[in-house]
A and B are shown apart, each in its own frame.
Chain A
């Protein structure tokens, strides 16, 4: 048995060594280089993806790396692997490597010019990649939009459950308040609304959610402890019942026909703004105060932190962004009903936060993206999907109890830095 174990660990070790050796070749590739590689790769797929896929025997390009069909048509597995390798992995790797020195120089120059400029260039590249990638297959579009929205939702919940260290269950309520608030503005208030109204509608959604949060915050922050958990849970029940009884928004039948304004650029921009503001918030003095409150409220109080106000602000802030995300969601789906914002939504949102990692902006992004993509990619498993995903989450909790990327600061400048080549010029 011991021999076997050693063998196993040896194999694992060899695999890891190989992986490290492959990875180390890309040490000198900065983020900019990866983005350039990805841009070229999606461009390639855009140009020749479909004929190439048909050459490989597939009807069209695989939408999500082939996961959608390989279970039902296993003979296409090699085709999918080849497709992903040729269309995605190889071009990205090759170009990232090839342009490494150019990318490093550019990244240095950009950062020297201005951080803002550098951020803008990276974001424009990222957007271009997403845009082309979605343009190849329309199905990807809805997946990407919902994933971006999930990022905002997860981030906002992380402010309360991670940074503040409470256990709040009221996010479904906030999302639905935001969704209904924004929809009321775009459908019911104005007869012939112009798209310029959309930001206003989203802000209204956020404010409605924040007002709802006040209802939770006032009773629950009177004391320390787990009472937020049930007050927020009761709040979720109350909001659902409340909307079911609001006839002018359709009651249980839901509200449909939202104008088609939540296009990819809009969702993308709102998501970036949300990430930016939330990241600044948690890194601000208020964010530090929040962490102090989490770790020891009495001590924080003694250190002149106004704990009540800190908690209140953070909670309303979190609810506001959940509301904005809700407004986006309503306009992406063009239909909302109270039943969508029940206990199942709660489980979904909590899973994304804790999977990604507490107290971490990167973690929330990772959590939202990975669980959303997994959810779509594992669709063909049908019912087994609901065994596989929970199992993964349980294993994650056991081996990394705080989530994938927990307690990490999101340092944008470090991310954009050029990578120093360790091996020198080739």
Chain B
């Protein structure tokens, strides 16, 4: 039982990252019907921005210019890098996606892929071969609860992720901008005719998704502090699977699917021999899709639109 509970806790943490990253994919996919394959690398950029912000703030406090407790530095780091990364996301949209608004969707997917490669390579050129260590802003504390090890980091990660998801849902459901996004997801062709500025909404969507990826990357940095230029690739592609699994345009769906993917991965490694993890985990995904071909929360849409 403790074994199960321990893995449950592990999966909760791991799933949070998939969920947060999947939200970015899902929003872009829902609103603009695009695969934003640069998203994993935006996650990576967010992590490095966070690294520099955090190191800068820690340095300033050390010199005594400002005196901040570490928890406040963490909060500030998350907020500042969310904002900065949002701009990076909008820039990617402006450069790589807006010129291709009327092109086949797959072309935009290729630009995204290539922007990702450029981001990785630029990072390698500018920062060199060294791996960076994300500053430790939260002193690890380990609590033993009936044989289950829980750290303060795990609790914070899950809590902050859920909070962000709740805020995002609130934004999309309750605000005017959110309504515009939903309308766009409902009908891409007609809604701009109603006076909704397409470019603004597109930028907003990319910005929000990137900000979430940045938040995810900082949380990620506290739990997995080794950074490298290719850190976003695998987790990005897997989160993409989660986003589509959730169903088109469903925020709740993407979040739930992210957690589900985390659980499937952790439990297939812990129940079966871990060598077979990917084999089993992705076979399960395949199996789910056979029975829910439109994703977990998606509505049926037969249109292929613009491809």
A and B, direct touch (CB closer than 8 Å): yes
Cβ-defined contact, A234 with B114, below 8 A: no
Residues of B within 8 A of A218 (CB): 290
Distance, CA A227 to CA B244, complexed state (A): 7
Instruction: Determine if A22 is an interface residue (Cβ-Cβ < 8 Å).
Output: no
Residues of B within 8 A of A224 (CB): 302-304
Cβ-defined contact, A219 with B278, below 8 A: no
Residues of B within 8 A of A298 (CB): 302
Interface members, chain B 232-286 (any A CB < 8 Å): 233-234, 237, 240-241, 244-245, 248, 275-279, 281-283, 285-286
Interface members, chain A 217-261 (any B CB < 8 Å): 218-220, 222-227, 229-231, 233-235, 237-238, 240-242, 244-245
Cβ-defined contact, B109 with A167, below 8 A: yes
Instruction: Determine if A334 is an interface residue (Cβ-Cβ < 8 Å).
Output: no
A sample of 29 inter-chain contacts (CB < 8 A) reads A161-B106, A167-B106, A167-B109, A219-B289, A220-B289, A223-B293, A225-B248, A226-B248, A227-B289, A230-B241, A233-B241, A234-B282, A234-B285, A294-B304, A343-B234, A347-B117, A354-B106, A354-B110, A387-B125, A390-B118, A390-B121, A393-B111, A394-B118, A397-B103, A397-B111, A397-B114, A398-B100, A401-B107, A402-B104
Cβ-defined contact, B35 with A390, below 8 A: no
Considering the complex, give the chain B residue whose CB is closest to the CB of A391: B118
Which of A215, A229, A238, A386 touches B279 (beta carbons < 8 Å)?
Answer: A238
Considering the complex, give the chain A residue whose CB is closest to the CB of B245: A230
Cβ-defined contact, A238 with B278, below 8 A: yes
Distance, CA A235 to CA B287, complexed state (A): 12
Distance, CA A234 to CA B248, complexed state (A): 18
Produce 1/0 per residue, B286-297, CB < 8 A to A: 100110011100
Instruction: Determine if A358 is an interface residue (Cβ-Cβ < 8 Å).
Output: yes
Q: How far is the CB of B237 from chain A (nearest CB, A)?
A: 6
Residues of B within 8 A of A393 (CB): 110-111, 114
Residues of B within 8 A of A386 (CB): 117-118, 120-121
Distance, CA A215 to CA B286, complexed state (A): 9
Distance, CA A233 to CA B244, complexed state (A): 11
Distance, CA A211 to CA B237, complexed state (A): 25
Cβ-defined contact, A237 with B278, below 8 A: yes
Cβ-defined contact, B282 with A394, below 8 A: no
Residues of B within 8 A of A294 (CB): 304, 307
Residues of A within 8 A of B105 (CB): 167
List 10 A-B pairs, minimum CB-CB distance, nearest first. Answer: A401-B103, A241-B278, A390-B114, A241-B279, A234-B282, A386-B121, A223-B293, A219-B290, A230-B244, A401-B107
Cβ-defined contact, B124 with A383, below 8 A: yes
Q: How far is the CB of B118 from chain A (nearest CB, A)?
A: 5
Interface members, chain B 103-153 (any A CB < 8 Å): 103-111, 113-115, 117-118, 120-122, 124-125
Cβ-defined contact, B304 with A165, below 8 A: yes
Cβ-defined contact, A219 with B111, below 8 A: no
Which of A227, A234, A235, A244 touches B293 (beta carbons < 8 Å)?
Answer: A227
Distance, CA A6 to CA B114, complexed state (A): 33
Cβ-defined contact, A394 with B114, below 8 A: yes
Interface members, chain A 374-414 (any B CB < 8 Å): 383-384, 386-387, 390-391, 393-394, 397-398, 401-403
Cβ-defined contact, B294 with A223, below 8 A: yes
**Additional A-B contact list (6), CB under 8 Å, known A225-B301, A227-B295, A354-B110:** A225-B293, A343-B234, A386-B121, A393-B110, A397-B114, A403-B107
Instruction: Determine if A351 is an interface residue (Cβ-Cβ < 8 Å).
Output: yes
Distance, CA A386 to CA B117, complexed state (A): 7
- A interface secondary structure, majority: helix
Instruction: Determine if B96 is an interface residue (Cβ-Cβ < 8 Å).
Output: yes
Task: Please count the residue pairs between chain A and chain B whose beta carbons lie under 8 angstroms apart in the complex.
Answer: 146
Cβ-defined contact, B293 with A237, below 8 A: no
Residues of A within 8 A of B304 (CB): 165, 224-225, 294, 297
Interface size class of B (residues with CB under 8 A): 35 or more
Instruction: Determine if B64 is an interface residue (Cβ-Cβ < 8 Å).
Output: no
Instruction: Determine if B99 is an interface residue (Cβ-Cβ < 8 Å).
Output: yes
Instruction: Determine if A350 is an interface residue (Cβ-Cβ < 8 Å).
Output: yes
Q: How far is the CB of A169 from chain B (nearest CB, A)?
A: 9
Considering the complex, give the chain A residue whose CB is closest to the CB of B291: A219
Residues of B within 8 A of A390 (CB): 114-115, 117-118, 121
Interface members, chain A 276-294 (any B CB < 8 Å): 294
Residues of A within 8 A of B286 (CB): 215, 219, 231, 234-235, 238
Residues of B within 8 A of A398 (CB): 99-100, 111
Q: How far is the CB of A48 from chain B (nearest CB, A)?
A: 41
Distance, CA A337 to CA B205, complexed state (A): 40
Produce 1/0 per residue, A159-188, CB < 8 A to B: 001000101000000000000000000000
Distance, CA A384 to CA B95, complexed state (A): 20
Residues of B within 8 A of A401 (CB): 100, 102-104, 107
Residues of A within 8 A of B248 (CB): 225-226
Residues of A within 8 A of B275 (CB): 244-245
Residues of B within 8 A of A161 (CB): 106
Residues of A within 8 A of B241 (CB): 230, 233-234
Residues of A within 8 A of B234 (CB): 343
Residues of A within 8 A of B35 (CB): 167, 226, 229
Q: How far is the CB of A287 from chain B (nearest CB, A)?
A: 18
Q: How far is the CB of B296 from chain A (nearest CB, A)?
A: 12
Which of A219, A227, A234, A347 touches B113 (beta carbons < 8 Å)?
Answer: A347
Cβ-defined contact, B289 with A231, below 8 A: yes
Distance, CA A393 to CA B38, complexed state (A): 14
Q: How far is the CB of B278 from chain A (nearest CB, A)?
A: 4
Distance, CA A362 to CA B88, complexed state (A): 37
Cβ-defined contact, A241 with B106, below 8 A: no
Distance, CA A231 to CA B288, complexed state (A): 10
Distance, CA A402 to CA B100, complexed state (A): 10
Cβ-defined contact, A387 with B122, below 8 A: yes
Residues of A within 8 A of B285 (CB): 230, 234
Cβ-defined contact, B117 with A226, below 8 A: no
Q: How far is the CB of B101 from chain A (nearest CB, A)?
A: 10
Whether A402 touches B103, Cβ cut-off 8 Å, given contacts A233-B241, A241-B277, is: yes
Which of A215, A229, A387, A397 touches B107 (beta carbons < 8 Å)?
Answer: A397
Residues of B within 8 A of A238 (CB): 278-279, 282-283, 286
Cβ-defined contact, B96 with A387, below 8 A: no
